Amino acid sequence: MINSYQSLEANLHDVFWATEGPPAELPLMRSFLREHPGKSLEVGSGSGRLLLPLHREGFEVEGLESSAEMIDLCQTNSSGKSDVPLHLGSMDDWKSSSRYASLMIPAFTLQLSRDPAAALVRFADWLQDGGTLYMSTFTPLAEMLGELPAGEWYPDHQTELADGTLAVIHTRHQIDATEQILDREHRYEIFDKDGAILATHESRQQLRWFRREQWKQHLKAAGFRIEKQFADFKPQRKSLKEAIVVTTIARKIVG
Ligand SMILES: C[S@@+](CC[C@H](N)C(=O)[O-])C[C@H]1O[C@@H](n2cnc3c(N)ncnc32)[C@H](O)[C@@H]1O
Cβ 177 vs Cβ 144: under 8 Å: yes
Q: Is 63 in the pocket of ligand 1 (CB under 6 A)?
A: no
- Reference 86, options 111, 104, 61; nearest CA is 61
Return the half-sphere exposure (C-beta side, CA atoms, 13 A cut-off) of residue 119: 21
* Closest approach atom of ligand 1 to CA 46: 27
Query: Boundaries of CATH 3.40.50.150 in the chain?
Result: 7-138+210-252
Assigned CATH topology for domain 7-138+210-252: Rossmann fold (3.40.50)
Ligand 1 atom with least separation from CA of 92: 19
Cα-to-centroid distance, 41 and ligand 1 (Å): 13
Q: Within 80-190, where are the H helices?
A: 116-126, 141-144
For 193-239, the pLDDT digits (tens) are 999 999 999 999 999 999 999 999 999 999 999 999 999 999 999 99
For residues 65 and 96, give the distance between their C-alpha atoms in angstroms, rounded to a whole number: 13
> Is 122 close to ligand 1, i.e. is its CB under 6 Å away?
no
CA pair distance 205, 5, nearest whole angstrom:
9
Q: What is the largest CA-CA distance in the chain?
A: 64
Whether 50 lines ligand 1, by a CB cut-off of 6 Å, is yes
Residue 106 Cα: closest atom of ligand 1: 6
The CATH 2.20.25.110 domain(s) of the chain lie at: 141-208
Give the separation between CA 35 and CA 46, rounded to whole angstroms.
Answer: 24
Specify the pLDDT at position 81: 61
CB 218 within 8 A of CB 126: no
Summarize pLDDT for 160-197 with one digit per residue, the tens.
Answer: 999 999 999 999 999 999 999 999 999 999 999 999 99
Backbone angles phi and psi of 61, in degrees to 5: -120, 150
**What is the distance between the alpha carbons of residues 161 and 35, in angstroms, rounded to a whole number?**
37
Residue 83 pLDDT grade (very low, low, confident, very high; cuts 50, 70, 90): confident
141-208: CATH class: mainly beta
C-beta 23 within 6 A of ligand 1: no
User: Is there an atom of ligand 1 within 6 Å of 54 CB?
Assistant: no
Residue 82, pLDDT above cutoff 80: no
DSSP state of 2: B
Length, in residues, of the chain: 255
51 pLDDT above the threshold of 90: yes
- Is the CB of residue 106 below 6 angstroms from any atom belonging to ligand 1? yes
Residue 251: CB atoms within 10 Å: 20
